[in-house]
Amino acid sequence: MSERENLIAEAHDLELEFKGNISNVKLAAMIAEAKGLPAPVDEVAPPGPAIKDDPEVTEETTVETTEEVVETTPTKDKNPKKESPAAAAFTGRRKMIADARERAFKTRVVTITNKDSRENEFMTTAYLSFENQHFGLSKLVPLDVAVELEEALIKVAKSTVMTLHKDEIIGGKRTGNKVATTVKKFAISYGE
């Protein structure tokens, strides 16, 4: 029998419960503990093929006693944590979102005027809003008054269009038909 088979047989005799993929060292430690013996000293295994030594050795440390030098070992960098690629991507994404939010919420003083003659007499405010998967904003903005407004809402007001029906003209003459055209709904003037 191999060493592993002997360990498994001994563990079954002691009625120990363990996973099938337990290492020989851990199994031997479980058996020793069940028998009341000290845990066996495990040998230092060579590193696996996926483990590489860190080339960033900064200095050597010497531990001395009153009698003699006990050992000299290289010490590694004080902060060996390196950010994983997934964490770096997440951090980069968070920074990109924060930058976009900062640009969107930057304010300017503007005056918004409604260009739709059908609504000019009774429309005194405009509801502007935007939203994406990370942040959003909505406001009821007074018209024809200088207000401090976020850059993202200014862009929404600039891109708002309305449909008007204009006379169709062919060869310099009106045909009696109407043609739908889209024009910008708001005029925006920037203040100090």
Region of 25 on the Ramachandran plot (φ > 0 left; ψ -120 to 50 alpha; else beta): alpha
**Residue 140: what pLDDT?**
93
Give the count of beta carbons closer than 10 Å to the beta carbon of residue 48.
Answer: 7
Pair 39, 108 in one domain? no
Q: Which residues pair with 110 in a beta bridge?
A: 147, 190
Query: Using N-to-C axis directions, what is the helix angle for 151-159 and 85-104, rounded to 10°?
Result: 70
Which stretches in the chain have pLDDT values below 50?
Answer: 55, 57-67, 69-70
The answer to whether position 115 is within a domain reads yes
**Residue 112: what pLDDT?**
92
The answer to whether position 17 is within a domain reads yes
Tell me the whole-structure pTM to 2 decimals.
0.50
Pair 38, 111 in one domain? no
The answer to whether position 131 is within a domain reads yes
Give the count of beta carbons closer than 10 Å to the beta carbon of residue 42.
Answer: 12
The answer to whether position 87 is within a domain reads no
Nearest to 107 by CA among 170, 166, 151, 42: 151
The answer to whether position 5 is within a domain reads yes
**Residue 82: what pLDDT?**
67
The answer to whether position 76 is within a domain reads no
Tokens of 142: 């007074």
The answer to whether position 51 is within a domain reads no
Please give the residue range of the domain that contains residue 123: 101-190
Pair 107, 179 in one domain? yes
Pseudo-torsion of CA 93, 98, 101, 106, nearest 10°? -150
pLDDT digits over 78-129, tens only? 555 666 777 777 788 888 888 999 999 999 999 999 988 888 788 889 999 9
Residue 51 DSSP code: -
Pair 31, 112 in one domain? no
**Residue 62: what pLDDT?**
46
Contacts (Cβ under 8 Å, ≥6 apart) of 146 = 109, 110, 111, 191
Pair 38, 105 in one domain? no
Pseudo-torsion of CA 22, 24, 30, 33, nearest 10°? -170
